[in-house]
Chains A and B, each alone.
Chain A
Amino acid sequence: MSSLNTLPFARRSETLPSSLSALQSATRDTLSALNMPDRRHEDWKYSAKKIGDLSTFDKALDGRASDISRPYNIDKKNALSIRLENGAIATSLDNLTLPEGLILKRFTHLNEEEIGRVIEAVGSESKKREFEQINLSSFDDGLYIEASRNSKIEQMLILEIVHNKGGVSLPRIFVNIRDNAELTVIEEFHCTSSDTALCISHSDYLVAQNSQLNSLRMNLGFAEHKLIASSRAQLKRDARFNSDALCLGAQLGRHDLRVLLQEPGAECDLNGIVVTQANQHFDNHTCIEHIAPHCTSNENYRCIADGKSQIVFNGRIHIVPDAQKTLGTMNNNNLILSPTAEIDSKPELEIYADDVKCAHGTTIGQLDEEEIYYLKTRGLTDEQARQMLTLGFVLKVVRNAKVDEIADFWETILSNLLSFQD
């Protein structure tokens, strides 16, 4: 088996500042010790088969301006859009009027202090994560977002992360929320390429004391493409992190979300909706690390698999010794709509402190015949009843999304997807 640094797209950027460039070179050494995950790799047990041969892929560079119309209505006053194309920042950041307290920079323009933060956030444990390392060793540019101290930014930040050419793109986002600040970031992953595309993205979120980050993400147009994303949130004292994700089927969809609750009082709320059809595949791996006492975590993922598709959910709550008074709940509910679909769920608890309350629940099943019968007695057809119940199953989570416009948009997408008229 050849190591990951032999992949054609695993090569460092030419334009990054020297310290980031040095980091990329160092990461290449780590990469040489890693192999492409196979099914014996616990984290890739169910999804390794979908990675396929990547040795023919190269970086997708210079894809020209693709036309992405705003898929949902949002008042321009309330939102600011930034375009990333094939990993490069396509929007000119110099001419933007930014709300007070918001700083946006390309990685190539960072000062030493900011670079220091980016490097520090990487952490040593990421060394085991193959695709995170690929991104780190080979990204060309990244977007640095900072909400300054005490700035509650009303305007949402929409990141249109577009992949418009066959090959590999390596977008990298760094979000730094300083003390007492608040920001909402929407990450939209679009794929408009006609050739097979692979997007290996990574996002870092630092949420400082008493601040809040609302993170929303979705992937659009990936049905024939691959998306392997990783995110890591690090929360300080009384910080709050909300994550809402709409995961639509892809040839291979994967999101590794790690939340580190590093100081007391930190709280996270992770919500996800996964819907796959045909031969699609989506794999969510979440890990909540309770490192400090008095932290709270909530997680709620709902998945629907149809056709011959497969959905994987691996949720892990890890409570270190002395992280007392922890509250953790995890819920994963799954619906299988066809006899050929598959759902694999692994909700894990790893607990080393005693004064904690932790629970997880998982269900896999189908619609309740009694509920269908009830709706039919009210005059609905069988199809309408099933559609209504299926949609209702995911709407519980959809409506929790922190931005109403996004929740509406997701509801529209899902009601189209789940309508039974082919």
Chain B
Amino acid sequence: MSETDKAVKDLIKSEYKHGFVTEIESETFEPGLNESVIRRLSAKKKEPEWMLDWRLKAYKIWQEMQEPEWAHVNFPKIDYNEISYYSAPKSKEDGPKSLDEVDPELLKTYEKLGIPLHERARLAGVAVDAVFDSVSVTTTFKDKLTEAGVIFCPISEAVHKHPELIKKYLGTVVPQKDNFYAALNSAVFSDGSFVYIPKGVRCPLELSTYFRINEANTGQFERTLIVAEEGSHVSYLEGCTAPMRDENQLHAAVVELVTLDNAEIKYSTVQNWYPGDAEGKGGIYNFVTKRAACIGKNSKVSWTQVETGSAITWKYPSCVLRGEGSVGEFYSVALTNNLQQADTGTKMIHLGKNTKSTIIAKGISAGKSDSSYRGLVRFGPGAENARNYTQCDSLLIGDKCGAHTFPYIESKNNSAVIEHEATTSKVSDDQLFLCQQRGIDAEHAVSMIVNGFCKEVFKELPMEFAVEATKLLEVSLEGSVG
């Protein structure tokens, strides 16, 4: 395998391609967290009193909570007083009204990331609510969406323009006291997206937000809320890349989805944040709470995620299947390389009759990384004729990595059916040999095999993401063969 070894050595040296920093003046709070920081943050955003109260309540809850330690990850303790809780690009009074007014540096950043703005955006049919650090700067295709009655705006704007919707839904899926990071997020959330699809509307565009962490030492606390009214449909894309940094950056986001009768939300994520270098230095901590409440009859939520980045990924996109006949889906590829750690999976809580859920989780561990699938499938007493199918497969590349599965399966209903299967294996020498024999080098062969392994998940991704995901896997796997 000496040839492969050489290839490995070369590739190990290849560096993170999206690692660059855009130099823009930004206004940042000094590090530290206390009540006055929250008041200032809220004042900065000119939030109404009720919003401030909501944040303060969350802060009180957070202060009483313990940081959880049960995950299969190791990291030095986070000092929450060393994080700055607000960072915004210097606003030109009221912010830009059109693309021309947007800071050219910022636009360049998007360009490097390949975000389709201008014509590219129209061609790609994507509306971008670009979040640069914490404040949403620009939203495209507003007109087309407005025409359909779809609300797609920064959540800070929605607090002012649609307070009734925010009051009604914010925190209903992930309450302030849900968990340590959700409480922190509720207290200090900076911005995020708000999407409201009215009754019977099929959103004409795939909505997309690119998050990008830019300011060193700035924890980013995004809050996303998507509400799909009766009979509506929306596909939401979330993709992330981050510049190269040496200090760990905390990202504790909260995503809440609400679906009413016959509504459907498809939520896709490609996450490629800076994973740290080969020695595990730097990298993002990605501790996210994502949950969907399928309240309505026959409603459906589908989570698709491709996780290749972050030093530590710790998240469980979940579905609470309350409505009769509601459906939850979770398709995930989690790839870890070098010293990355991932503890990810899903929770499917079946409460309503005839609810169905499918979980397909693929974990790939390479280098010295650790990846864990942790899932919960719970069938309540009322979940008559509910159904779950779970498949979690792990692929090991290299003898220093770890792959783990911790599924919790709880059933309190005798008419429910649960199937769970998991396998762990490595890329087989036979497969590799066959490919190499046909003239495909080891690196490409592994990439092909891994892509084949993940096919079931990739086919659930929207077109443009599927392409990106395949490439991402290739890039992320570089240096792992041997």
Interface residues of A (CB under 8 A from B): 42, 321-322, 324, 334, 336-366
Known A-B contacts A337-B414, A341-B414, A346-B408; the reply to A361 vs B402 at CB < 8 A is no
- Whether B394 lies near A354 (C-beta < 8 A) is no
Residue numbers in B under 8 Å from A364 (CB-CB): 379, 409, 411, 416-418
In the bound assembly, the distance between CA atoms of A356 and B425 in angstroms comes to: 6
- Whether A351 lies near B404 (C-beta < 8 A) is yes
Residue numbers in B under 8 Å from A357 (CB-CB): 423-425
Show 27 residue pairs from A and B whose CB-CB distance is below 8 angstroms, ordered by the A residue.
Answer: A336-B411, A341-B412, A343-B410, A344-B410, A344-B411, A345-B409, A345-B410, A346-B409, A347-B405, A347-B409, A348-B404, A349-B405, A351-B404, A352-B402, A354-B397, A355-B399, A358-B425, A359-B422, A362-B418, A362-B421, A363-B419, A363-B420, A364-B379, A364-B409, A364-B411, A364-B416, A366-B414
Residue numbers in A under 8 Å from B433 (CB-CB): none
In the bound assembly, the distance between CA atoms of A346 and B345 in angstroms comes to: 14
- Whether A351 lies near B424 (C-beta < 8 A) is yes
In the bound assembly, the distance between CA atoms of A348 and B403 in angstroms comes to: 11
- Whether A351 lies near B403 (C-beta < 8 A) is yes
- Output the least CB separation between B384 and chain A (Å): 9
Residue numbers in A under 8 Å from B406 (CB-CB): 346, 348
Among B396, B399, B409, B421, which residue has its beta carbon within 8 angstroms of that of A359?
A: B421
Q: Which of B421-459 contact A (CB under 8 A)?
A: 421-426
- Whether B414 lies near A359 (C-beta < 8 A) is no
Q: SS class of chain A's interface: helix, strand, loop or mixed?
A: strand
Give 18 new A-B contacts, CB below 8 A, not counting A42-B70, A345-B409: A324-B399, A337-B414, A348-B405, A349-B404, A349-B405, A351-B396, A354-B396, A355-B426, A356-B396, A356-B426, A358-B425, A359-B423, A360-B420, A360-B421, A361-B421, A362-B420, A364-B379, A365-B418
Residue numbers in A under 8 Å from B397 (CB-CB): 354
B239 within 8 A of A: no
B358 within 8 A of A: no
Beta-carbon nearest neighbor of B366 in chain A: A354
B413 within 8 A of A: yes
Among A343, A353, A361, A366, which residue has its beta carbon within 8 angstroms of that of B415?
A: A366
B398 within 8 A of A: yes
- Whether B409 lies near A362 (C-beta < 8 A) is yes
- Whether B419 lies near A358 (C-beta < 8 A) is no
B56 within 8 A of A: no
- Whether B421 lies near A338 (C-beta < 8 A) is no
- Output the least CB separation between B133 and chain A (Å): 38
B381 within 8 A of A: yes
Interchain pairs with CB closer than 8 A, number:
117
In the bound assembly, the distance between CA atoms of A362 and B406 in angstroms comes to: 12
Residue numbers in B under 8 Å from A352 (CB-CB): 401-402
In the bound assembly, the distance between CA atoms of A348 and B411 in angstroms comes to: 17
Question: Top 8 nearest A-B pairs by Cβ distance?
Answer: A354-B396, A336-B414, A362-B420, A365-B417, A364-B418, A358-B424, A345-B409, A352-B402
Residue numbers in A under 8 Å from B413 (CB-CB): 336, 339
- Output the least CB separation between B425 and chain A (Å): 5
Known A-B contacts A324-B399, A340-B381; the reply to A349 vs B418 at CB < 8 A is no
B407 within 8 A of A: yes
Beta-carbon nearest neighbor of B420 in chain A: A362
B17 within 8 A of A: no
B400 within 8 A of A: yes
Beta-carbon nearest neighbor of B70 in chain A: A42
The 0/1 profile, CB within 8 Å of A marked 1, for residues 185-200 of chain B is: 0000000000000000
- Whether B402 lies near A350 (C-beta < 8 A) is yes
In the bound assembly, the distance between CA atoms of A364 and B408 in angstroms comes to: 12
Residue numbers in B under 8 Å from A334 (CB-CB): 411
- Output the least CB separation between B109 and chain A (Å): 38
Beta-carbon nearest neighbor of B418 in chain A: A364
In the bound assembly, the distance between CA atoms of A356 and B394 in angstroms comes to: 11
- Whether A354 lies near B401 (C-beta < 8 A) is yes
- Output the least CB separation between A92 and chain B (Å): 49
In the bound assembly, the distance between CA atoms of A321 and B405 in angstroms comes to: 16
- Whether A353 lies near B411 (C-beta < 8 A) is no
In the bound assembly, the distance between CA atoms of A355 and B399 in angstroms comes to: 7
- Whether B414 lies near A322 (C-beta < 8 A) is no
In the bound assembly, the distance between CA atoms of A345 and B418 in angstroms comes to: 11
- Whether B399 lies near A353 (C-beta < 8 A) is yes
Residue numbers in B under 8 Å from A339 (CB-CB): 381, 413-415
- Output the least CB separation between A237 and chain B (Å): 22
User: By CB atoms of chain B within 10 A, which of A321, A344, A351 has the most?
Assistant: A351
- Whether B399 lies near A354 (C-beta < 8 A) is yes
Beta-carbon nearest neighbor of B395 in chain A: A354
Beta-carbon nearest neighbor of A324 in chain B: B399
Beta-carbon nearest neighbor of A313 in chain B: B409
Residue numbers in B under 8 Å from A353 (CB-CB): 396, 399
Known A-B contacts A322-B399, A340-B381, A342-B412; the reply to A351 vs B418 at CB < 8 A is no
- Output the least CB separation between B424 and chain A (Å): 4
- Output the least CB separation between B40 and chain A (Å): 37
Beta-carbon nearest neighbor of A368 in chain B: B417
In the bound assembly, the distance between CA atoms of A206 and B406 in angstroms comes to: 29
Known A-B contacts A322-B399, A347-B407; the reply to A356 vs B424 at CB < 8 A is yes
In the bound assembly, the distance between CA atoms of A353 and B422 in angstroms comes to: 16
Beta-carbon nearest neighbor of B394 in chain A: A351
- Whether A346 lies near B420 (C-beta < 8 A) is no
Among A343, A360, A361, which residue has its beta carbon within 8 angstroms of that of B411?
A: A343
- Whether A342 lies near B420 (C-beta < 8 A) is no
Residue numbers in B under 8 Å from A347 (CB-CB): 405, 407, 409, 420, 422
In the bound assembly, the distance between CA atoms of A347 and B416 in angstroms comes to: 19
In the bound assembly, the distance between CA atoms of A365 and B397 in angstroms comes to: 35
- Output the least CB separation between A214 and chain B (Å): 29
- Output the least CB separation between B368 and chain A (Å): 10
Residue numbers in B under 8 Å from A337 (CB-CB): 414
Residue numbers in B under 8 Å from A358 (CB-CB): 423-425
Residue numbers in A under 8 Å from B409 (CB-CB): 343-347, 362, 364
Q: Which of B372-403 contact A (CB under 8 A)?
A: 379, 381, 394, 396-403
- Output the least CB separation between B204 and chain A (Å): 42
Residue numbers in A under 8 Å from B424 (CB-CB): 349, 351, 356-359
In the bound assembly, the distance between CA atoms of A352 and B412 in angstroms comes to: 34
In the bound assembly, the distance between CA atoms of A344 and B418 in angstroms comes to: 11
In the bound assembly, the distance between CA atoms of A353 and B370 in angstroms comes to: 11
In the bound assembly, the distance between CA atoms of A231 and B417 in angstroms comes to: 32
Residue numbers in A under 8 Å from B399 (CB-CB): 321-322, 324, 353-355
- Output the least CB separation between A243 and chain B (Å): 22
- Whether B422 lies near A342 (C-beta < 8 A) is no
Residue numbers in B under 8 Å from A322 (CB-CB): 399
Residue numbers in B under 8 Å from A342 (CB-CB): 410-412
In the bound assembly, the distance between CA atoms of A348 and B374 in angstroms comes to: 9
In the bound assembly, the distance between CA atoms of A363 and B381 in angstroms comes to: 17
In the bound assembly, the distance between CA atoms of A42 and B404 in angstroms comes to: 17
In the bound assembly, the distance between CA atoms of A396 and B402 in angstroms comes to: 34
In the bound assembly, the distance between CA atoms of A291 and B129 in angstroms comes to: 51
Residue numbers in A under 8 Å from B423 (CB-CB): 357-359
- Whether B418 lies near A363 (C-beta < 8 A) is yes
Q: Which of B340-384 contact A (CB under 8 A)?
A: 379, 381
User: By CB atoms of chain A within 10 A, which of B415, B417, B419, B420 has the most?
Assistant: B420
Residue numbers in B under 8 Å from A336 (CB-CB): 411, 413-414, 416
In the bound assembly, the distance between CA atoms of A342 and B416 in angstroms comes to: 11
Residue numbers in B under 8 Å from A42 (CB-CB): 70
In the bound assembly, the distance between CA atoms of A182 and B156 in angstroms comes to: 73
- Output the least CB separation between A75 and chain B (Å): 42
In the bound assembly, the distance between CA atoms of A342 and B414 in angstroms comes to: 8
